[in-house]
Amino acid sequence: MKLREDEVRIPAPDGTIRGILISPVDGGRRHGVVLYTDIFQLTESTLRTARWLASYGFVVCVPEIYPHGELAGVALEFDDAGKQAGMAGAAATATARFDTDRVAVVDFLAQQPGLDRLSATGFCIGGHLAFRAAFDPRVESTVCFYPTGLQDGKLGADDAGSLARAADVGGRLMIVFGSRDPHVPADARARIVTALYEAGLTDLELHVFAGGEHAFMRDVGARHDPALSGLAMDAAVSFLDGR
C-alpha cells in the first residue's frame, strides 16, 4: 500500500507537539491510530513500525513523548547515552503533562478528515501511555506492547497510578508481552491481569510470546525477534479491526 508521510505540529496548551502522520494514499480504513514511541522517540526503527501498521490501511499518528523540553525534536540513539537521556526525559515529566499531551494528540487525530474510528498503541513506556489513552472514551481499542511501569505506577516524575484507573478503560484492550522481559516479569504480568479483571474489564486479551525479550519488536539490536514481531503485529491488526 502506498503511504504518505507528513511532519505535523500538534497544538497543545503550552506549545506544540512534533509528530509524524502516516496515511494510506487511497484513504485506507477511516481508522486512526495514535502510536506512542519508546523512550528513544521518533527513531527510524519506530517509524518503520508505524509504516508497517499504516500499510494495513490505518492512519497512524506518532507524536514525540518529550515535546516541550530539551529532547524536543531529538531522536535518541540506541546506546547508553540515549537510554540515559530517554530515562531522564521520563523522570522529568509529570503524569499530568503526559495526559495533557495525550488529549491534544487524540484531539488532533480525531479532527483529521475522513476518520470515524480511533485507537491507540505503543511500545515500552509508550505502551503505558497507550493504556492511559484508553481512558479517553473516543478510543475504541488499544494495544499495549510490553508496557513498562504499568504494574507499579512508574511512568514519569510521579506515581501514575494507571492500574488503579483500569475501570476508566471504556474500549477493548490487548496487552502483548515477551516471556523473557525482565521489566515485566511473570509476577508483574499476573498483577496487571488480575487488576484488569477486578476492574470489570471483559473485552480483554493478553498475549505472552514465548522467548520474547523486552523490545522484541524493535528491529535494531540483538533482542529483535522478526518471527515474533510478525505474529504480534498480525494479532494487533486483527484486534484493532474488531474481530
Q: Which tens digits make up the pLDDT trace of 24-53? A: 998 788 999 999 999 999 999 999 999 999
pLDDT, tens digit, for every residue of 128-149? 999 999 999 999 999 999 999 9
Q: Name the band, by pLDDT with cuts 50, 70 and 90, for residue 227.
A: very high
**CATH code where residue 124 lies:** 3.40.50.1820
Q: How would you classify residue 161: left for phi > 0, otherwise alpha for psi between -120 and 50, otherwise beta?
A: left
Q: How many domains does the chain have?
A: 1
pLDDT mean over 1-25: 96
Nearest alpha-carbon partner for 64 in 42, 46, 93, 91? 42
Q: How would you classify residue 168: left for phi > 0, otherwise alpha for psi between -120 and 50, otherwise beta?
A: alpha
SS3 7: strand
CA distance 92 to 186: 29
Known catalytic residues?
A: 124, 181, 214
Quick one: cell of 130?
497507550
Quick one: cell of 54?
499504516
Quick one: cell of 144?
499495549
Instruction: Find the domain containing 107 and state its range.
Output: 3-240
> Which residues, 6 or more positions from 34, have their beta carbon under 8 angstroms from its beta carbon?
61, 63, 105, 106, 109, 118, 119, 120, 121, 122, 130, 133, 139
pLDDT, tens digit, for every residue of 95-117? 999 999 999 999 999 999 999 99
Give Dmax (Cα) for the chain: 45
Predicted pLDDT of residue 220: 96
> Which residues, 6 or more positions from 123, have their beta carbon under 8 angstroms from its beta carbon?
36, 37, 38, 46, 49, 145, 146, 215, 217, 218
